[in-house]
Structure 1
Amino acid sequence: MTGTTGAAWHGGAAAVATLTFDVDAETPILAAGRQYAGHLMTMSHQAYGPDVGVPRILDLLDDLDVPATFFVPGWVAEHRPGLAATIVERGHEVAHHSYSHRAPTSMNAVEQRADFERALEVFDAQGIEITGHRAALWEATQTTLELVAEHGLTYDSSLMGDDRPYLLGVDGRPVAELPVHWSLDDWEQYAFLPAPQIGSVIESPRKVLELWQAELDAMRHYRCLFNLCLHPFLSGRPSRLLALRDLIETAQSRGDVHFARCRDLAAATYADPALERRDPPNVTADPAVYPD
């Protein structure tokens, strides 16, 4: 499988592609309300991701010889104890995606720490090395980044301050940020459930493929990070997975796109002497101007 090498984070490629899969399974629905545990249609809809989608995705990645990163909530790894190991054995990365998939912005600092560390304990018990993190719903707070730095993780992938990797200074420690964006998230294209309502439109995979190919070519023009965020319960469905195959084959045919696991791209980011460290966003909102 290919990676990213060289002094510059992009290793000379026109764009770097990170294929990332958020293996949320039941967690985002349970985070919306534990009463949904008794909704069998809804629970089966979510279980499709790890039980059907992930094996198909792993076969596709093997077939096309590309690496990927799977962001797995600790709850999902705990309830499917062989899942994370299978992903790693196939040559891919497993990364931290909270324990419960509750948004950090909905928790206080004590709750965040407990959730964050509980996930680490699950992966440690399973012998899974964790070097990166993605916040549930991408809703990171300053506490979230502090936990990433405190526990020695090398990167986060939750913020939107650029379309190239950058370095954050967090409590005197560097954290590589691999930025994301809604335009490269399949949730905005395919997510639908009547209750809890998580979307109202199911797009055609052909339309989605056109969008993502346009993003890829524009990012090749500007030498960017094509950080694609997919959910196996969504993109593991047959027509959508074939569209993903088309997208990967298009990127390979360009001849100037490198595929990398997030942990490898983070290492290349640290090694790039041209990248300066930034501070995380620190916005103060005057309550007299912006009331709660």
Structure 2
Amino acid sequence: MGKIAVAGGSGAVGQEIVKVLAASRRHEILILSRSDVSDKGESRPGVTWVKADYGDMASVLSAVDTVLSFIATHADPGSTVQKTLIDASIIAGVKRFAPSEWATSNFEELPWYAEKANIRAYLQEINKEKKPGAAIDQLAIENFEFVFDLKSRRAIVLDGYDSVITLTTYGDLANIVLRAVEYEGKWPVNGGVQGTTIATSKFLEIAARVRGKPFEIQALKEEDLRADIIKSSWIPRLEIPGLPDEQVDAFSKMVLKGWLLSGLHESWRVSDEWNRLLPDYKFTDAEEFLTKAWAGKP
């Protein structure tokens, strides 16, 4: 039985991972929260909420084996909080640290992920100095419904480029994290997880088959996007906790632009280190997932 600390785990990915870790009943889970613990209505056996003072974390992390970070990087300018967590993990003797990288393989064209790049560089420097507690565990989850609107059967793509993406379900990701924290070997520095890696065009073929008819596809030109011109009839709207409504539209446009342009760098294509380390695990296929989620729906 290990002791696992989870920082910033209130999002969809973090919650799913905590649920699976707790359900195993093999680990003690410590959830670090900057808000008042008394406000937390959730209670699970083996899960303890602690109000975290990131100015003094080493004592809180005493006897912790693994730290999983889900800190929202856009809310951590300068990566101050996550760097403090890393430093405290080293002081406390934490064996494994997974930074808040649960999406892409690189950050080209993704300015809202800039702090992730800073943390990656910070951990690389720590690893170079051979200090304990630093490993980049880079797992992938693709929220594909951002540019692929399954309900309305429409999609936005980059004109002239068939980008490749990796799609992994929350459930598969959580199950791999459970196996990773129990893995007796050394974690890979880059720990990619692949559910399905697929070309956008192929994904849309599957989606159309599952949804019963072709999608309306709007292709935006690279030169327009780089000039901040978005000529689509709709723009996916992102609801970000803590982001004022007046900023949501501008942020959604920035993410759409970055999402499409990042396809030029295959930022959403993730490596398969954990697949190879855990070859017996069967991942949910993209078509299997879409069929289960959408078959027969209007």
Q: Which category of TM-score, normalised to the shorter sequence, fits these structures?
A: 0.3 to 0.5
Which has more helix, going by share of residues?
1
Larger Rg over CA atoms: 2
TM (norm. structure 1) is: 0.33
TM-score by length of 2: 0.32
Relative contact order, CA 8 A, sep 6+: which one is greater? Answer: 1
